[in-house]
Amino acid sequence: MDTSRKILAPPLPSILFHHERLAQALDKAPVARESSCSYRLVLLCAPAGYGKTTLLIDTIERLALPCCWYFLDHSDRESTIFLETLITSIRQRFPNFGPRLNALLAENTSEDELSLQALLDALIEALATDIPARCILALCNYQEVNGSLKINRIVAQLLKRLPAHCLLVIESRVCPELELAPLRMERKMFELRERDLLFSARDVYELAQAQGLSACTQENNIQNYESLSHRLVKGTLLLARQQYAEAESTFKDIARLASKAEIQLLHMQALLRLAACHAAQAQRTDAKTLLRQAVALNSNNTQTCTLQVEMQTYPALQPLMQEIIEQSEALSSVTVTRERLSISALGEARISITGVPVKHWRTVRALELFFFLVEKDQALHKDQIITALWPESENLERMNQTFRLAVYYVRQAIGAACLTQRSSLYQLDLSALYGQTWYDVTAFTQLQQIAEAALEAGDDESAAQAFQKMVNLYRGDYLQACYSDWCAGRRDKLRQTLIEARRHLALIAWRREAYDESLHQWQDLLTLDPCLETAHYGAMRCYLRQGKRSLALRQYQRCSQELREQLNVRPGLALQKLYQRLAHAYV
């Protein structure tokens, strides 16, 4: 599941006005202080264009608060997807969070109420026990799920049962359909509304100074800048209400005046929202012309963040921008390579076309189907695929419908020509549209072959280079967010390959008498598998070569404890003999 865009905060613009008045207000939330948290909820609620997300990211970064981000979209209305992505978000910040949640996620496939409640109970318990310090759970774009009764019930439970060291932050264009009155009465809630987010004349002046806008830094021009900002908000509201003629006229005036005054930020926003007007009316040519103007305006990359935020806010612009990129009229911040399609499965699943992430998979099962077929070099029957991916399902008619939808969404995401069908046989043919593709798993296994060949030839240096590239390429376990059985074997094999690569790096360093480096590799291995006796043995030998006998003894004790607690066995004979030699040396 490609969740990276949902759980990582987007970058802030290089030139940013720090809204001190609002930052100080958010800082009053006790989670930002050393005292225990009294607020349960911080709510930022205003229409699009008020800078809620930027304000939130900026404030949290400046206050150095640990935050688990979740940027919602329409697909998150499903309870299972919502909880699974929320858990992934928390693990992005706290990797060891909730180990027992994996089994509950794997079991929770039918969305039945009892399973969901068990998963939610376990999640709340893990928040209390597995997160050692204060943290923020930030749900952004909440308006995307506000119409889902199930999601609102889940969030209501979170609000009611959150541990004291956790604070929920909701950013939304509309007021959440939650029971907020009791929170307001008990002063358990802090909120910023539209009126709080409006820029004052002084704010506008300071922003203009930060941007180096000579036309606006004169006091007599501040009111004009403020007026354009407010008109942009007005136009955005007209666009949201589908009053396209009035919105178009407003944005055109803002673009003209902002261009004349050299106010790049407002100029960029007006162009993109004007493009959104045309896209909403199926006026694709006009919308693409405006998008090209916005791209040209970003030639020095100072407004890349603005461009990304606007594209996220108005999804209808994304396929049009994709067409521009495919026509080689690309964003200056994107490097187009010969390999147009890039696939990453080690760690978070990612697919990019000419450097642009493919985001619209619509369902987790579509993405899972894609990666399943990537691993297959021959056509498979529909029934084989269903049995492999979703063996727990007993409703054949429902699974056939699910399969057809997954096929449709894969074709929508990467191109219909890439997923071929002959009778009931399905196969990926990525070369049909993209020619040569790059797949990190393939690159990983190719590096393994190069490294092993170098070892056989006695070339430790070349082998070490290839093994190190393997380690660098391994950003996490294979499809780490996928809990299906079909990928477990592949995941275990690749993880074992990584362990072997690190073992060889440790041995090569040992042969070079680089004992610090060898010890580092052994210790890294123990983070992957604390019961790996060869790593404990290697670390002990390194300590001995460094003259650190006491640390070697401690390493043995650590090994003995891990094996006893996790496997109920004693260390092997080689380790015991090494320990005995060390112990006798002290007698």
Residue owning tokens 């318990």: 125
CATH of the domain at 101: 3.40.50.300
Distances (CA, A) of 494 to 55, 239, 488, 522: 41, 50, 10, 18
Query: Which domain, by its residues, includes 384?
Result: 335-483
One domain, residues 583 and 468: no
Pairing of strands 67-71, 356-357: unpaired
Distance of alpha carbon 448 from alpha carbon 252, whole angstroms: 57
DSSP percent split of the chain into helix, strand, coil, nearest 5: 60, 10, 30
One domain, residues 399 and 449: yes
Distance of alpha carbon 237 from alpha carbon 220, whole angstroms: 28
One domain, residues 14 and 47: yes
Alpha helix (H) ranges present in 131-168? 149-161
User: Phi and psi for 47 in degrees, rounded to 5?
Assistant: -65, 170
Residue owning tokens 């948290």: 37
Distances (CA, A) of 197 to 203, 239, 288, 409, 559: 11, 19, 31, 38, 56
Burial 240-256 (b: 16+ CB within 10 A, else e): eeeebeebbebbeebbe
| 438 Cβ neighbours under 8 A, 6+ residues apart | 339, 341, 342, 343
Contact 6, 141 (CB under 8 A): no
pLDDT value at residue 300: 67
Contact 50, 10 (CB under 8 A): no
One domain, residues 161 and 71: yes
Distance of alpha carbon 277 from alpha carbon 394, whole angstroms: 46
One domain, residues 583 and 448: no
**542 by DSSP, 3-state: which?**
helix
207 lies in a domain?
no
Distances (CA, A) of 73 to 24, 25, 159, 441, 448: 29, 28, 21, 29, 39
Last residue of one domain, picked from the residues 326, 353, 381: 326
Task: Determine how many CB atoms are found less than 10 A away from the CB of residue 442.
Answer: 13
Contact 343, 439 (CB under 8 A): yes
Give the pLDDT of the chain (587 residues) as one tens digit per residue.
456 778 887 665 554 555 555 555 555 554 444 444 467 888 988 877 677 777 788 777 777 778 899 999 888 998 888 999 999 999 988 988 988 888 888 776 656 777 888 889 999 999 999 987 888 899 999 999 998 999 999 999 999 998 988 889 999 988 999 988 888 888 888 888 877 776 555 555 555 555 554 444 454 455 566 677 778 888 888 888 889 999 999 999 888 888 887 777 788 888 999 999 999 998 887 888 888 888 888 766 666 767 777 777 788 888 888 776 654 332 222 223 345 799 999 998 999 988 888 888 888 899 999 999 999 989 999 999 999 998 877 778 888 888 999 999 999 999 888 999 998 899 999 988 888 889 999 999 999 999 998 898 888 888 898 999 999 999 999 998 888 888 999 999 999 999 999 999 999 999 989 999 999 999 999 999 999 999 999 999 999 999 999 999 999 999 999 999 999 999 999 899 999 888 876 54
pLDDT value at residue 538: 95
Last residue of one domain, picked from the residues 461, 483, 505: 483
Contact 340, 414 (CB under 8 A): no
Contact 545, 509 (CB under 8 A): no
One domain, residues 126 and 223: no
pLDDT value at residue 215: 45
Pairing of strands 67-71, 41-45: unpaired
Q: Which two tokens stand for residue 326?
A: 């495919």
Distance of alpha carbon 178 from alpha carbon 161, whole angstroms: 15
One domain, residues 558 and 412: no
Contact 254, 235 (CB under 8 A): yes
563 lies in a domain?
yes
494 lies in a domain?
no
504 lies in a domain?
no
One domain, residues 179 and 109: yes
Q: Is the dihedral of CA 352, 354, 355, 361 positive or negative?
A: negative
505 lies in a domain?
no
One domain, residues 322 and 347: no
One domain, residues 87 and 153: yes
Q: Which two tokens stand for residue 377?
A: 């070099």
Structural domains in the chain (count): 4
Contact 37, 190 (CB under 8 A): no
208 lies in a domain?
no
525 lies in a domain?
yes
One domain, residues 358 and 472: yes
User: What string of H, E and C letters represents the secondary structure of 422-474?
Assistant: ECCEEEECCHHHHCCEEEHHHHHHHHHHHHHHHHHCCCHHHHHHHHHHHHHHC
One domain, residues 167 and 24: yes
CATH of the domain at 466: 1.10.10.10
Task: Determine how many CB atoms are found less than 10 A away from the CB of residue 351.
Answer: 23
490 lies in a domain?
no
